Structures are given as C-alpha cells and as structure tokens.
C-alpha cells in the first residue's frame, strides 16, 4: 500500500529555531561515532510543525432535478460540512519565512498554522502548490529573521549514502530518524513526474513535507510517501528529490503557479514483441497511442504508432523520459523529435504548447 504521509489522508501520505538565520552548515559533517547530534542542532530549528483545518464535505448530494421546496426540506435534515484537521511537516528556506511542504498537506486548507521548534506560532499563507510533484510553498511573517536550511543537490547522492529525516510523525514534534538512500528514481505511480528517492529512514504519518538531509545538513529530499501494509513505517519511504523541489519552488515564488510544456500526445510503452522485431535487446522508447487535435504534436505531424526515440537531445528510454523532457520546456520553445515510422527514422520540428494547470 502506497500512502501519502499527512495524518488527515485516508491513505498514509508521509507528512513529516532561534539560531542564526542561516542554519545549514557550510562544511560537511563527518558523522561521529556518537551520532548526528551536531547536525540536528544545526538544522532542526528550521523544521516546522504544520496544522491544517479544512472542511469535510457533507456525505450526500441531492439530485439536480429535485423540486426546490423538497430540496430545502432535505437540506435542512442533512449533515452540513464539518471542520477537520490534518498534521504535517515543513521546512523554512529563507529568513523572511518561506516554507516548503507537500501539496497534500495543505490541499483544500481553510487555515494553516505553523509552529516552530521554540514554540512560536504563525498563521501561514499558501503562496502556491503543484499537485503534479506534490510540492507547496507557504509564507509566514515574523518581526525577526527566521532560521532556515538550504537545498543540496540530489543528483549527486548515491545509493547507500546516509540520510537524516526530521519531522513530526503522529504529531510528535522534532522527531529525528536516520538511514540510507535505498534507491533512486523510483516510480510509485503517484503522478507523471515520479522519480522519488527511496529511503529506509523511518517516516510515518505527519512526516509529510519534512526534509531529508545529507551529512552536510543540506536538504536532498522532501519526505512524501511510504509503502506500508499497516499504516506505519516498514522501512520503505519516498522523498521528492531536492533538484525537483528547488525548481518547482522557484516557479511558485514567481506567481504561485508552475509552467510546463505541452506536446499533446498519449503514449504507451513499446511491447517486447515490437522490440524484438526492431532488434532491441529490450523494450525502449515511447509509442504514440493518440495525438490530440489542434495540439503541437498534430501540427508537427506526429501520428499514432510513431516510436519516439529522442526529444530535443534527450534519449527516450521510458515514458517518464518524454514526460519530463516536454514538461521542462517553456511554451513557444522550438524542439526536434526523432521518431521511427514504418522502419524509417524521421525528424520533426515542433513548437511547444502550454500545459493546462492542475487544480491544487
């Protein structure tokens, strides 16, 4: 069972301070025999506890064609929307109060309350959110500079590297756990841009949105989901890589939304039979299953059955390669697509469109 770590989610969505404003250490910590104490002292003040209030919808809806008088009678007897709470984690990334967390922690929130490790509480504003990557950006206002941490580079992290998670599982504030990176670029089928870091550091409900640190105290991931038959940690957790989070946050800071390129095709994996006929050792590339009318793909001349080998310099070995490469483009960018069509390689020119915004 894959679960997001927010306490309010029915599936377990992993919902994971008064030092100097810049809390992230400038030099890497060598992990001492005694543990991670020095590192935690540096970074923990920038990890926050998030409490969310939203409205639970009433359990039933009435038919549209019901007579008005009868509708009012039934509506008076039906349970109304009731407030519900949720818990999660987040981390400060700037002295002026910018906070990163998961979209699923604050989705549909009517109010968001942030508590720092020193007990200070703030009402937070959601600047913007991106459901596709499960990243949200909040803001709080304080009369002093706040402690914060900085992003590291997730791409350079290796399987086997040690990591530390800090968050608020089950509302237990400032909980620290450690482990290693178990795998990279995991696709858990939660969205089109899945490339999670897998870790065995214990994360549970309430850890969602909390940071995953390397030994230098840099954020290299944001804890987001777990696989758990019983709802608790079994050592299989997933974090959004910091390289993805950083890019999305920069976009959200601009205008509260994320801009992505759009091609306008539905794609499917190449079958083993087709791969064998074409002489590939294994199935690779992306096969066009459908071309949307009036889309950039249609204008460029893509057809159903085309096998996309390369998109503007990115070799396409699986479906995610194409999805991410197209999304990384800006609207009106020019790109080239190399395809295999009826046994011949063809190169097409395409002008990228704008992907419609997902509802947060």
pLDDT of residue 26: 43
3-state secondary structure at position 213: strand
DSSP string, 315-331: E-SSHHHHHHHHHTSPT
Active site residue 134: yes
Name the active-site residue from 8, 54, 134, 285: 134
- In angstroms and rounded to an integer, the radius of gyration of the C-alpha atoms of the chain is 23
Residues in the chain: 360
Place of tokens 């957790």: 237
pLDDT of residue 271: 85
As given in the structure block, the two tokens for residue 99 are 């906070």
* Rounded Cα distance, 297 and 301, in Å: 6
Residues 288 and 264: beta-carbon distance below 8 Å: no
Domains and their CATH numbers in the chain: 1-55+83-257 (2.40.10.120), 261-354 (2.30.42.10)
Residues 163 and 114: beta-carbon distance below 8 Å: no
Name the active-site residue from 104, 190, 233, 251: 104
Residues 334 and 349: beta-carbon distance below 8 Å: yes
* Rounded Cα distance, 316 and 322, in Å: 6
Comparing C-alpha atoms, which of 127, 171, 152 is closest to residue 219?
152
Walk along the chain (360 residues) in steps of 10 and give the mean pLDDT of each run. Answer: 49 37 49 81 97 69 57 54 77 98 94 96 97 96 96 97 96 94 92 91 94 96 91 91 96 92 93 81 86 95 94 92 92 95 93 78
- Tell me the CA end-to-end span of the chain in Å, nearest whole number: 23
Report CA torsion sign: 334, 335, 339, 345. Answer: positive
Name the active-site residue from 3, 173, 208, 285: 208
* Rounded Cα distance, 157 and 49, in Å: 27
pLDDT of residue 4: 64
Phi/psi class of residue 334: alpha, beta or left (left: φ > 0; alpha: ψ in -120 to 50)?
beta
Backbone angles phi, psi at 114, to 5 degrees: -115, 130
Place of tokens 């999805």: 323
């Amino acid at each position: 069972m894959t679960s997001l770590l927010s306490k309010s989610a029915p599936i377990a969505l992993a919902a994971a301070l008064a030092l100097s404003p810049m809390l992230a250490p400038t030099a890497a910590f060598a992990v001492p025999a005694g543990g991670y104490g020095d590192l935690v002292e540096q970074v923990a003040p920038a990890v926050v506890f998030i409490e969310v209030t939203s409205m639970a919808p009433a359990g039933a809806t009435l038919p549209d064609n019901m007579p008005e008088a009868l509708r009012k009678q039934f509506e008076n007897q039906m349970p109304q929307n009731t407030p519900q709470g949720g818990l999660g984690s987040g981390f400060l990334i700037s002295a002026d109060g910018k906070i990163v967390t998961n979209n699923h922690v604050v989705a549909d929130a009517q109010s968001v309350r942030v508590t720092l490790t020193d007990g200070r509480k703030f009402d937070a504003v959601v600047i913007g959110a991106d459901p596709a990557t499960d990243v949200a950006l909040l803001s709080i206002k304080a009369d002093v500079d706040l402690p914060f941490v900085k992003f590291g580079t997730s791409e350079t992290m290796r399987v086997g590297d040690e990591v530390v998670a800090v968050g608020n599982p089950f509302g237990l504030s400032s909980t620290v756990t450690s482990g290693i990176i178990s795998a990279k670029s995991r696709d858990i089928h939660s969205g089109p841009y899945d490339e999670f870091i897998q870790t065995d550091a214990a994360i549970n409900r309430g850890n969602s949105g909390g940071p995953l640190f390397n030994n230098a105290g840099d954020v290299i991931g944001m804890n987001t989901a777990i696989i758990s038959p019983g709802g608790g940690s079994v050592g299989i957790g997933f974090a959004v890589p910091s390289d993805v989070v950083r890019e999305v946050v920069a976009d959200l800071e601009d205008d509260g939304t994320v801009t992505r390129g759009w091609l306008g095709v539905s794609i499917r994996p190449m079958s083993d039979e087709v791969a064998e006929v074409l002489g590939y050792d294994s199935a690779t590339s992306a096969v066009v299953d459908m071309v949307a009318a009036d889309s950039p793909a249609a204008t460029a001349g893509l057809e159903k059955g085309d096998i996309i080998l390369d998109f503007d310099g990115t070799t396409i070995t699986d479906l995610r390669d194409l999805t991410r490469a197209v999304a990384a483009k800006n609207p009106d960018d020019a790109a080239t697509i190399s395809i295999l069509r009826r046994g011949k390689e063809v190169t097409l020119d395409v002008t990228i469109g704008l992907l419609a915004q997902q509802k947060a």
